[in-house]
Amino acid sequence: MTKERDYFFDNVKAVLMFLVVLGHLLLPIHGESFLVVVKRLIYVFHMPLFVFVSGYFAKTFYKNGRYNYRKLLYLGKAYLVFVVAIQLVYAISGYQAFSQINFFSQSGAPWYLFAMIAWYLTIPAVHGRYPALVLGLSLVLALGAGFFQEIGDFLCLSRIMVFGPFFYLGYYMERETMQRLLQNRYRRAVVPMAGLLAVGILVFGQRLEDPLSMVYENFSYYELENVRSGLLVRLILLLAACILSWALLFFVPQRKTRISAVGQNTMPVYMLHRIFRDILMFSGIYEHVEDGGLSVLLLFGLLSIGMISVFSRPAVVRMWNRLLALYTPQWLCRIRSANVSGVRQQRWKRNGRCGVSLRRIRILFIQEMNIIIDLLKINDTVPVPYGDGDFCVEAIDDRIDRGRKIIDEH
């Protein structure tokens, strides 16, 4: 039986993508304007919740002792393409020479992709372990990382550790638990608390620059006047992120909506909007909006919606996935023409001129989504076969399991 798609998380990802795009549009703005305060409010919780959702869907990476190498490959290719594209924009604009490209130290948007790879690689170690122990250790690492000045942008270590608790919290979170946490009895307490917290950030947001820098700009506690208070400040920020994220989930519809399709294709939006933002930044447009108010915020909001609408269109998604496919190593190329009879032939010839073992056929068959789609004759029922690298795989888990059974039978 085909697993029904969870449109709630598609909607959550769509809302988060809007906040990510809007936050990146506001990021180059500094000073004491209203836009800076709004930016800091967004940055308190939008990426922690995004990482939480990523952890929730990471359950498909390691199942029954099997790794989903397609996810790692997709994220790895996306990371390399993303870094190169941003560096090209820097070089063309004269901001930084292309020769200064650094794949091992990223403080911009690509950090999330690198961190995802790192978190995925830890899943076999935490799979089936005690959730409380793993979450406790990840929280200790998140709080303790601020005491080491050496931990920074290199390998995105600071952000990997600081955002780690949100990833593992999502990984261990079950859908039934989510449903209980979104009941009205919690809503009556969490939403007012989050409202007061948001108002406080908007009123006193100018004082958040240094604390937020400890999280998003990889600064240590030593950047504060009182080093000992750094741990408490970071803990407060993590708790604030949890409360604001929890409150936001109450307002996300659980049924299929117009924004659900956006949530199924977040990867192209995440990468392309940042490149577009950098082009705007180097064009000099931000010199005219530094002191802007509500009108500029509305303009950036409409621009965010426009970019999301364009970059999540099926044609753009297909083009983006083809671009990433160009970087697939030859030994991992897709076998699009395979079918049941082809698998049988490969098995018959595994010791002959074909030179392909049955084990290898199984691995390639399971990893290749198109084979499973053709095998089960469901091409017209799969909404987005190659949408988001993080979230497209879980929609066909049951088909993967059925594909394995068919392979075993043949």
- Give yes or no for residue 351 having a pLDDT over 80: no
pLDDT at 201 over 60: yes
User: pLDDT band at 260, cuts 50/70/90?
Assistant: very high
Please answer whether residues 37 and 201 qualify as being in contact, where contact means their C-beta atoms are separated by less than 8 angstroms. Answer: yes
Q: Give Cα 246 distance to the centre of its chain.
A: 18
204 compared with 373, residue with greater pLDDT: 204
Average pLDDT, the chain: 80
pLDDT in tens, 76-86: 999 999 999 99
pLDDT digits (tens, 9 = 90+) for 155-164: 888 899 999 9
Domain ranges of the chain: 7-323, 334-409
Considering only 5-9, 12-16, 147-151, which range has the smallest mean pLDDT?
Answer: 147-151
395 touches 383 (CB < 8 A): yes
Nearest to 175 by CA among 4, 18, 399, 388: 4
pLDDT at 33: 83
Instruction: State residue 328's pLDDT score.
Output: 52
Tell which wins on pLDDT, 217 or 156.
156
User: Cα 365–366–368 angle (5° rounding)?
Assistant: 65
Instruction: Over range 93-106, report the average pLDDT.
Output: 88
245-248 long-range Cβ contacts below 8 angstroms, 24+ apart: 245/45, 245/48, 245/49, 245/52, 246/181, 246/186, 246/190, 246/194, 247/190, 247/191, 247/193, 247/194, 247/195, 248/15, 248/45, 248/49, 248/194
